[in-house]
Structure 1
């Protein structure tokens, strides 16, 4: 990062193709963004695996143009005081529409019907109408209206799926032990609340999963509980590979307990089964979703780099403070006692008057923004960095 007077310029390493609409949010007079940028202040990424990548010490933030961050070493970045931003909800409508498509494909047996048309019918010579009438009976399906959809995970996608399903005449049962206030407000009142994953599995003719892949959610649906689903039920996984045990899903399909498994994550095992509907990770693959994700994460990166504000970081608390001074310091530190006291004492010893301050914590991480009334010296920044528990210090002159 370089200073020109009071204005800073920033270098952004872009690891994947990012929508131009997002990159436009990083003005060229202050930002250099590209795939070959050295000593970057931040990284913009979509699907590139960063776990084995050497992440430069200059990196102060990582922005994921999407929701999941399992391709980013979040814990290692937290230890360095580096926030990892994502774009929750930006691709929610795209995923919602694909979930609806998945339900319809399974209910109306469309993949098999399409294979029939492309295969057997393609070999018919003459009297095609008779062949159609004779063959179509194998693909008689059922309508969505009146059936129950169980949803595990009531974030932005889960709420949109619930709303769409209700409008299609379905009954909806939802479960999310960690539902946010915003999600609760946006959830349609007709959604019945379940008390557990097991209750959703027992009740749903369709069950759709919308949870991140964590240790607690790995094989959330497994051999231990998949048998709870009603005979012929449809399981949909558009969240993450690993949330469902492939082995358990295949065994349930083979036994006839499960009617169909629809997922966005192909594996060699799944591709061999005729009642598995696998899509090639299309959840966020729409022009609109890619643009929305890129715009959202670029704006979050910019606000952090220029002002230190944090929104939608998976490892930092949300912190926003309007500027009341041209001189600002951002400090990430371990969430332990007396950090604020040590920070303010160091500033007082440096002769700085604190104009405004905000401090928030999230788990083991705390983050502080401080506006002071005069220029901050390199010596003070070095002293703050030496405080035991401080992970990163940034000077943010306006």
Structure 2
């Protein structure tokens, strides 16, 4: 069942504490930010679980102020013609800094050393001698000259790779889907692994920066551990589900994995030997939260005002310079003659088409059509209704 959506005063509903710098993107002349709105034009969210929510016909967009969208029912949104945005790269520097901090700190046994030193608080004047006597148990190793394997060379992975080179590490990367933009930003000194097995075999440290999918789930397991060097350090600041936890516990116990550093602790992981757990701090910086909020808000604002789409996880990215004249946008099934039927509906109102873009993604497509002259406001409801009658239309609006 398709939905007709006409323009009106735009309402934004935050589902978490979204940084003020992001909400200020929505100017008061055109937008209302309302935490209690039941049927907003758009939702901005961080970690709020939306899977049990019902969405009104007016909802056009959901923006996740962060990279992961596991808390959003993406398939349901697609079926209802709701575009879902994320903010790749906005928190990349924050995650990169924590990865490199954890890499160095774990290599030098800093976490264990700090924890042990705090136990000496009641020893008074004995502390200096106890420190000198006990420090040998925390002898670590330097990362200089060691090989860091990076799985996933997106916004975060590329930053980690470049900075690890500056720390005099050898860097090998694996990413069969690397984008052209990322490739331009990546140092030429990053070696390319032709297979993930090559990366596993050559790395002293491995850090992973890929989303959780049916293909990546449990990618760290007994079989892949067997390929790795003895004592390898594994860092996971992406998703907990990438690791088979039972196999990881065995590998840590045997020493096959020297240390496991993860941002996704649970009861099982906390009980594992040689595991360093951080409380999901990857993107938790003041700067990152502001960057994500601003980027999410700008993407929503641009979509609501122009129909342009960038960084969507379910719609195709599409952009067309906005001239201020009427624009028809339609989200529809990716089947033959859809564009022809839409343009015929527009032509039936004796309207000329000035520009058009059509992009597809899987079984769906998105079409934007600019009309060459002013459109009488009374024409819009009829035009929307006529396009809406086309079989395969999911959501249509006129901007």
Would the TM-score normalized by the shorter structure come out above 0.5?
yes
Which position in structure 1 is the counterpart of 2:274?
A: 275
Whose relative contact order is higher, 1 or 2, with alpha carbons under 8 Å and at least 6 apart? 2
Deviation at residue 336 of structure 1 after TM alignment: 1.2
Secondary structure in 2 matching 1:184? helix
Which position in structure 2 is the counterpart of 1:235?
A: 234
Deviation at residue 227 of structure 1 after TM alignment: 2.3
Which range moved further: 94-103 or 74-83? 74-83
Which position in structure 1 is the counterpart of 2:178?
A: 179
1:315–1:365 Cα contact (<8 Å) kept: no
User: Aligned residues, how many?
Assistant: 391
1:357–1:369 Cα contact (<8 Å) kept: yes
Which position in structure 1 is the counterpart of 2:78?
A: 78
Deviation at residue 256 of structure 1 after TM alignment: 0.7
Which range moved further: 351-360 or 293-302? 351-360
Deviation at residue 274 of structure 1 after TM alignment: 4.3
Which position in structure 1 is the counterpart of 2:148?
A: 149
Which position in structure 1 is the counterpart of 2:390?
A: 387
Which sections of structure 2, spanning at least 5 residues, go unmatched? none
Which range moved further: 257-266 or 238-247? 238-247
Deviation at residue 91 of structure 1 after TM alignment: 0.3
Matches within 5 A, 1:107-146: 107-119=107-119, 121-146=120-145
Secondary structure in 1 matching 2:129? helix
Partner Cα separation in structure 2 for residue 58 and residue 124 of structure 1: 66
Deviation at residue 34 of structure 1 after TM alignment: 2.7
Which position in structure 2 is the counterpart of 1:377?
A: 380
Matches within 5 A, 1:225-304: 225-304=224-303
Partner Cα separation in structure 2 for residue 201 and residue 55 of structure 1: 44
Matches within 5 A, 1:162-173: 162-173=161-172
Establish whether residue 102 from structure 1 lines up as the match of residue 113 from structure 2. Answer: no
Deviation at residue 38 of structure 1 after TM alignment: 2.5
Deviation at residue 104 of structure 1 after TM alignment: 1.2
Which range moved further: 215-224 or 83-92? 215-224
Partner Cα separation in structure 2 for residue 263 and residue 227 of structure 1: 20
Question: What per-residue deviation string (whole Å, max 9, x for no partner) do you get for residues 345-385 of structure 1?
Answer: 11111221111111111222211111112324211211211
1:154–1:176 Cα contact (<8 Å) kept: yes
Change (3 A) 1:284 1:348: same
Which range moved further: 127-136 or 305-314? 127-136
2:151–2:210 Cα contact (<8 Å) kept: yes
CA RMSD of aligned residues (A): 1.3
Partner Cα separation in structure 2 for residue 62 and residue 125 of structure 1: 57
1:63–1:85 Cα contact (<8 Å) kept: yes
Secondary structure in 2 matching 1:377? helix
Deviation at residue 223 of structure 1 after TM alignment: 1.7
Deviation at residue 391 of structure 1 after TM alignment: 0.9
What's the TM-score, normalizing by structure 1?
0.96
Deviation at residue 2 of structure 1 after TM alignment: 7.8
Partner Cα separation in structure 2 for residue 89 and residue 226 of structure 1: 30
Partner Cα separation in structure 2 for residue 54 and residue 80 of structure 1: 11
What's the TM-score, normalizing by structure 2?
0.95
2:39–2:55 Cα contact (<8 Å) kept: no
Change (3 A) 1:388 1:2: closer
Establish whether residue 26 from structure 1 lines up as the match of residue 26 from structure 2. Answer: yes
2:6–2:397 Cα contact (<8 Å) kept: no
